[in-house]
Amino acid sequence: MSSERVNLLGLPREQLETFVAARLGAKPFRARQLMKWIYRRGAADFSAMTDLAQDFRAQLAEIAEITVPEIVTEQRSRDGTRKWMLRMDQVQGIETVYIPEPDRGTLCISSQVGCAMDCTFCSTAQQGFNRNLSAAEIVGQVWLARREIGDSGKITNVVFMGMGEPLANYRNVLPAMRIFLDDLGYDLSRRRVTLSTSGLVPQIYKLAEECNVALAVSLHAPNDELRSELVPINRKHPIAELLEACWHYIDQQNGRSITFEYVMLDGVNDRPEHAQQLARLLTGRPAKLNLIPFNPFPGTPYRRSAAAAIVKFRDILNDHGIIATIRKTRGDDIDAACGQLAGKVTDRTLVRLGTRLTNPSRTPAEIQ
Ligand code: SAH
């Protein structure tokens, strides 16, 4: 029965070694051979793995599988961006986006079906939360995208900026990242795997101990009053606490800097005094700012800041010695831009984070 088979796609090297040893009495190098087939050559069929003994392949096929999510639809933007909707089960779908640029190819992956963080300006939040993706479903997005892209491009960067809050699915995101970094996996450098978080402070400390990747933090406001309104998790982990965790992360990882994401919302967080407040928070710190022009979606009350306001905001930050860049909007003609990924989600949470945090007795344990 396929449901009893172990999907090898989600197993980092050590776990795969343990699996082949415990279940098949095989030496660790068998796991390494398997990884090369799965990740480097994109194999999904044991029978194709010709340098493995035939009876080993047969035994493997009895107890293991390499299963990837199914592609439901693909859309291509006129700027070359590609978006796939992947089926997670009978009803749920998530989205993965490939963004080709002359010098790199970025894959934007999802970590959850929906999201429970409830940020007011994000379209994924409107869908509610259904479930965490497994490690195999996370890695499977890269596996599939590589197959689809073929020789027409290359994935050099992976960013957790699709649907979901990756640190709320720490347990499955961590093994997936290990596979991205492993030289027998996708062999990406730690600066080219970026985890973006809305600010789950305890998990930032945990990550600092366990995995070395680039960290992006969705800041979006320079003071607690405004941030708590836009990013409800701020009511639990305010800015000072979040920044403390960020600086700790950089110290611990010997990292260069944290990228702070800041969505530009017209008349909400885009005034010169907001830029000045931000500069006070970040001057002299290992911080860069990435200003994201707001991408609208149906039903949102927000509007994108005027181009001139965004440029002015950037200039104020630059004048304070802070590196700030404006993110180029990609794939918005196919709703593939930041915050536009809606997937197909049946909300199981009923009450979202913003509401829960105003009524702490209902805060579930999984939200930290
Ligand atoms: N949950 C993670 C990853 C999500 S999305 C996080 O919060 O960081 C990646 C980035 O897109 C985040 O900075 C997010 O705040 C931003 N974003 C969300 N909605 C957006 C929108 N409508 N327009 C522009 N950026 C948006």
Q: d(Cα 189, Cα 169) in Å, to the nearest integer?
A: 22
Give the separation between CA 299 and CA 130, rounded to whole angstroms: 21
Q: Give the confidence band of 129 by pLDDT, cuts at 50, 70, 90.
A: very high
Ligand 1 close to Cβ of residue 263 (< 6 A): yes
**Which residue, judged by its Cα, is nearest atom 8 of ligand 1?**
197
- Model confidence at 360, in pLDDT bands (50, 70, 90)? very low
Between 231 and 336, name the one with better pLDDT.
231
Q: Say if residues 35 and 182 touch (Cβ distance below 8 Å).
A: yes
Work out the mean pLDDT of the chain and round it to a whole number: 92
- d(CA 125, ligand 1 centre) in Å: 10
Q: Is the pLDDT of residue 25 over 70?
A: yes
- pLDDT above 70: residue 362: no
CA of 326 to the centre of ligand 1 (A): 14
97 pocket-lining for ligand 1 (C-beta < 6 Å): no
242 Cβ inside 6 Å of ligand 1 = no
**Smallest CA separation from ligand 1 atom 17, residue:** 339
Beta bridge partners, 88, equal none
Question: pLDDT at position 350, please?
Answer: 52
- Looking up tokens 């967080």 gives 269
